[in-house]
Amino acid sequence: MTKEMRYRFAERKDTPLILDFIRRLAEYEKMSDQVVADEKLLEEWIFDRQKAEVIFVLAGEKEAGFALFFHNFSTFLGRAGIYLEDLFVLPEYRGQGYGKSLLKKLAQTAVERGCGRLEWSCLDWNRPSIDFYLSLDAEPMTGWTVYRLSGETLRRMAEDGAEQDSAAFAEMI
């Protein structure tokens, strides 16, 4: 007999809990030094700007795991998808179906919203997660590399773009 999983979408009052899950995930991924998010930022971007959503899977009344996701867009499919940014299950609940149930709930959400896909990234060294995803028939995307601009590099690119726009505007007048 499989246990019935319950879920709930995060509310503003859950912001400290969301940050706690993020910090625990960062610790697991050996990236704690990269967490600059705080409650104020999360509240602004998740609840005020509505740029991401969070869903919890419950063990009784306790949150056993969380998934933070947002919509992206596939030009090839001509429709939105769901991008799973983070999925984390507390260690004491791993191996009991909570992670799988969260992915099933996200798949259900994607289908209900008419999305064309559910996708995510995984660290190359994270063999337990890779094996888990493969067991669900998730397909690894070979031939693709993630690129990122952040921090000072992002700011420098933006400044270069602003200078380019100013120069183009000056040529027009």
Active-site residue numbers? Answer: 133
Quickly tell me which residue has 């995060």 as its tokens: 10
- Spatial distance between the Cα atoms of 62 and 34, rounded to a whole number of angstroms: 27
- Spatial distance between the Cα atoms of 30 and 25, rounded to a whole number of angstroms: 9
Q: End-to-end alpha-carbon separation of the chain, Å?
A: 73
Strand, coil or helix: what is 67? strand
- Spatial distance between the Cα atoms of 28 and 34, rounded to a whole number of angstroms: 12
Report DSSP letters for 20-33, one per residue. Answer: HHHHHHHHHTT-GG
Work out whether strand 118-120 and strand 79-89 pair parallel, antiparallel, or are unpaired: parallel
Name, in order, each residue with C-beta under 8 angstroms of 10's C-beta and a sequence gap of 6 or more.
Answer: 17, 18, 46, 53, 54, 55, 56, 66
